[in-house]
Structure formats: structure tokens, C-alpha cells
Amino acid sequence: MKNEYFTDSMRENLASYIVSFLQNLLFRAESGYGYFYGYDLARNKPIEPVYCEVTGYGLSFHSFLSALTGDVEHLDLVKLLAEFLMVARSKVSGSAILYGFYPSKDAWSSLAYSFDNGVVAKAFFDAYRALNSKKYLDHGLRISEWLVSAMQRSDGGFAAAYDYGEKGFIDFNTWYGNGGCLHGKLAIPLLTAWKLSGDDRFRDSAEKLLAWLLKLQMDNGAFRAREDTNYVFHHTHCYALEGFLYAWHELGDDRYLDVAVRGAKWLARIQHRSGGLPDLYPYPIFVRRLVTDATAQAIRIWLILHKITGNEFWLMHAEKGLGFLKSIMFRRARAHGALPAHVWYPLYSARRTHTWSMMFAAQAFVFSKKELSLSEMMQYLF
């Protein structure tokens, strides 16, 4: 059940603290665009490159806040962030968004990641819904078309990236390489593209992706980080669950919900007694790195499952996770409202912030307080 000492006003305040701190990580150019960057609190400086993926999350986040509050300031930020992403799309002749921008060099990366492009496509769809401007819909559909036609493999999985400088596909020997379970989240923009356009290719692509992804789920419910590994990276495990939950909501196939429930039970099983989630499994015995992003993602997943099932089991784990996020929030003046990217429990907190982690966390606090419908929770999940 809901923690009665963790009041709704406290949850709202904590979300507000995060939103306020995030404004310090927003760059506004005189030419009319803006982007979010990460920040190193120890060195007191921004982190390069500026990820287009993160600005995409920021666009979706402020679309959510605009719908929630009706505040025109959030709509202005949606326009500002969308302008930057349209600039990013203009840097190559194809439909893709490039990975990142290096402000100190005024230079762009030549890489275009499948995952990042999915995040940005969803962001453009959110901007379209928020502002009712067809240009954003067109950008989202063009990116979705690139994902289906250029990046999806014949088995349903996705290639990790394309290098527009070298003119070839690139793989990485890590969790974000070819065949990573993180690509499960691409079901969200693909099904949104299908819903907004009526083009069945996008639905077929999402179903093909999820059929492939099922092969990465182990008997314990966890997803292997990628095809050729046996470890679990909980940040991307959550991405896979988000894709299955969204697909269940849009397509009504209970197999997808069963997959999500099994994966969410795994998260509950490995949740630390402090409420946080470790980044990896297997993990070191004595010192565990508990991460903000996967913890906030798991909370949102558990709250959605509580909304679907009414089972207090999910709410109990979500409340425990929210308590963890509250406990690690920085309180000092320069960083008030910031969340560390991770903590080495029980030794110390990182001095680096991950912008996307804080956006996930703020939405988790809002999901726990507001009486949102299931459809609203699914539509605004980013």
C-alpha cells in the first residue's frame, strides 16, 4: 500500500525539485533552439557530447508536463527542443538523427544509433500531439521509416548504428551493440507511427521485433543484455519491458503482458533493501552500484502494472524505490534536486548526473501521486 508518511505534497515537491534542477542543464541558443546536457558536479562543468537522445527525452518530458499542468512554459520548451532535433536531422541527407553534438568544437558525430532515433521519433510524435503541427509528425514518420527500411534485420532485431562518415554499419562489443535488448523500446515509436499513420509496416516491424526479443528472455524473467551475452543490464532490461507493456496496451496481446510481468518480477527479486536497483547481474557481493535510471524505470513499470492489475505487490516495490530516490537526492544549494547517476552502496554517491535518469525519476514521482489513467500513463511513457 501507499506509504502514508510519504505524502502527495512531498512527491510533488520532489518532482518539482528535479524539474527545477533540470532547467540548469538546458542550453538556449539565440537562434531559437535548445538542448539538454549532462553535468559533472565534481568538476562543475557540462559533459560532452550533447546527446540527441536526451534532448528527445526532454521533449517528451515537457510534452507530458504540458498535458499535466496546462502551463504554456512547457509548450515553449517543446518547441525549443524540437528545433534542435530538426537541426540534427538536417545534418545528413537521410532521415536519421545523429548521435550527438560537441559544442566546444561546434562539431557533430557521424554516428546514427537505432535506439536514439527511436527515442527522437517518439519525441516528435509527442510534439505533434502537444502542438498539433504536422511538421513534427512528418519528422517522426521519416525517422520511423529509416528504422524499418535501413536498420531492422531480417530476424527482427536491430543493427546498433550507421556511420555516415565511414558509410557503413557499426557494431559495439557491449550492451548497446547489435542485437541488444534495449531495442525492445523501439516498439513504442513504431506502434505510435502505426497508430498515427495507419501504415501497417510499422506495426509489423514492432511485432517482428518483439518476437525476436522473446529469445533473449531467460527462465528467471530477465533479459540478456544482447544476443551473445549472459549478463543482465537492468537499464536496458527495463527498456525491453517498456516495449512489451506498450505493445500489450496498443495491440491487446496478453502474451506481451505476461512477458512484462515476468520481467517486472525479476526486478522486484533483485531490488536492494535500500530500494535501489543494481546496474548489472551478476553483481559484486560486497559493494553494489545502485543506479538511478533503472530504479526510476522499474518504479514506472511497477506503477503501470499496479494500475493494470490492482495487485499491491507492485505498489509495495514502487514505494520502496521512490524512497530510495528521495534518500539520494542532493540537498546542497548548487545541486538541490539533482540525483546522482549512481551510488556505491553504502559508500558514496557519484558526482555525475544523468539527465535522462532525473527525467525518469520525476515522472515516477508524478505517476505515484497523480490519478492518471492507464492510457495516459502509456501515452506519456518515454
Residues 234-286: tens digit of each pLDDT? 999 999 999 999 999 999 999 999 999 999 999 999 999 999 999 999 976 65
**How far is the C-alpha of 127 from the C-alpha of 79, rounded, in Å?**
8
The pLDDT score that the predictor gives to residue 30 is 87
* Rounded mean pLDDT, 331-339: 86
C-alpha cell of 108? 557533430
| pLDDT surpassing 60 at residue 5 | no
The pLDDT score that the predictor gives to residue 1 is 59
Q: How confident is the model at residue 379 (pLDDT cuts 50, 70, 90)?
A: very high
**How far is the C-alpha of 242 from the C-alpha of 236, rounded, in Å?**
10
**How far is the C-alpha of 174 from the C-alpha of 152, rounded, in Å?**
19
Report helix, strand or coil for 275: coil
Q: What pLDDT digit, counting tens, does each position of 143-197 carry?
A: 999 999 999 999 999 999 999 999 999 999 999 999 999 999 999 999 999 999 9
C-alpha cell of 313? 505487490
Residue where the block lists cell 555516415: 164
Q: What pLDDT digit, counting tens, does each position of 68-125 carry?
A: 999 999 999 999 999 999 999 888 877 899 999 999 999 999 999 999 999 999 999 9
Tally of CA atoms within 13 A in the half-sphere of 136 that contains its CB: 25
**How far is the C-alpha of 158 from the C-alpha of 186, rounded, in Å?**
9
**How far is the C-alpha of 139 from the C-alpha of 295, rounded, in Å?**
31
Q: Tell me, what DSSP letter sits at residue 204?
A: H
The pLDDT score that the predictor gives to residue 333 is 72
Q: What average pLDDT is seen over the chain?
A: 94
The share of the chain scoring above pLDDT 70, in percent, equals 97
Burial of 92 (0-12, 13-18, 19+ CB in 10 A): middle
Q: Is the pTM of this model over 0.85?
A: yes
**How far is the C-alpha of 330 from the C-alpha of 278, rounded, in Å?**
20
Domain covering 8-380 in this structure, CATH number? 1.50.10.10
Residue where the block lists cell 539533482: 338
Q: 195: phi > 0 → left, psi -120 to 50 → alpha, else beta; which?
A: alpha
Q: Tell me, what DSSP letter sits at residue 155?
A: T
Give φ, ψ of 286 to 5 degrees: -90, -40
